[in-house]
Structure 1
């Protein structure tokens, strides 16, 4: 009998503590300025109903983001993600980059408000670009959520980390959108020798100095934005695409469908610069000069990347 009494007393004490905590939170978040705590109690909400209501306060929508360097297999993986059920992927999103601008003059781009603002020399363009991007993504996210879909943003990481004399330390997309969304993110990486060779082939070395060691240094800045559990290797993906895509689907909290491997190639995704094909398979390494071999062997930054990602050379 004493044990039952003590349990009842403990439950009553717990109820009182929860009630007190709810009153404090409700006063801060739910009550109009002139409404009293007593008026909330008079509504006779159960503790469970009130806790449920409070749990929805400031709850952010989920946004999925995918990050990778150029020429690292990111387009293939993005196509595969696009093939999953009810997924809508916006490809190569970035607020500031002007890599796509025609330097010889203004181009016809009636739907690109940010670019038109650049052409018009609108002041404080970077701040405005952030606001435009944030508002656009919120609007698209709301629209896709209402349709029961899942929005995925493919970040144009190249613009942050591989352009100019200095690399960024962080992803602009994450900095801009993290206040509005709960971000679920992944990064994909390819052996730096292979991605660097492809970068040279495509004439996309936009950083200075244009060395392999500088490339790996910037890759390190990029990778430090992610937990190891958020990073996926391109080589693992092409070796076992279904197993890796299932892991990626879980990480992004989207539904997995093994049929992606037969439908991925019908999706239009920007940045499709690699060796085309309807099969997911390993590609042979491009030719490596003796001078680059020497540069690789002497690169401290590559050594750090190799140790982090279990790459060899």
Structure 2
């Protein structure tokens, strides 16, 4: 479709250990399994974990892509710098962070933005971001279709950080419907209830992820997303529900796909486009 743009999902947090990377990996894997062309970009430039979690190695990184784009923009192909992850017949692309910390300091914000813009062949781009309001993150948040704001609100400092982060996003004039509040480890006993946190935020959580440390540990040890490492885990099922919310998938569509795969695939593309248009669509993409 002329004017098509990728749906960019920023997975962001204001606290370390929020489950941000696990969420980004499983979103990318779930979207790919649903049949969408998906790219996962690790924007934790100094200490990115995506490659380690997925037990992957790559000869090329974001730093190499930047050098190539700056050297010759006309001949640059972003596909040459992506690494494919594949498991169980499902595959998605990964853009790894720089290997060396020195290279991370040399990353140019405008160049990264141009690299993301050149990923137009993908239906979904998932950004695994660091937990700071850096210049790079602000540009990526601007470019994102939705901000998947992850937090573990299990004690007062974490709740404070989450509220400060949410208030900051609103202060930067991101629309509330663009910000999707996602509570991780939502089923654990906490000093402050989720309902109290919602009252403090003045907004409801878009999605709640249960805790399953054993499944996450198994996933990391196997180098596989949860859907392949622990398909029966409640956390896996919750990630499937989150993927379904981002693709407008429902039970009837699943039944249709079993009986009429071709029509289901066509319907899937239509639903994805409808979801994007409902969110503000092409006009909102890349803007606040």
Q: Classify the TM-score, shorter chain.
A: 0.3 to 0.5
Structure-1-length-normalised TM-score? 0.36
Structure label with greater radius of gyration:
1
Q: TM-score normalised to the size of structure 2? A: 0.39
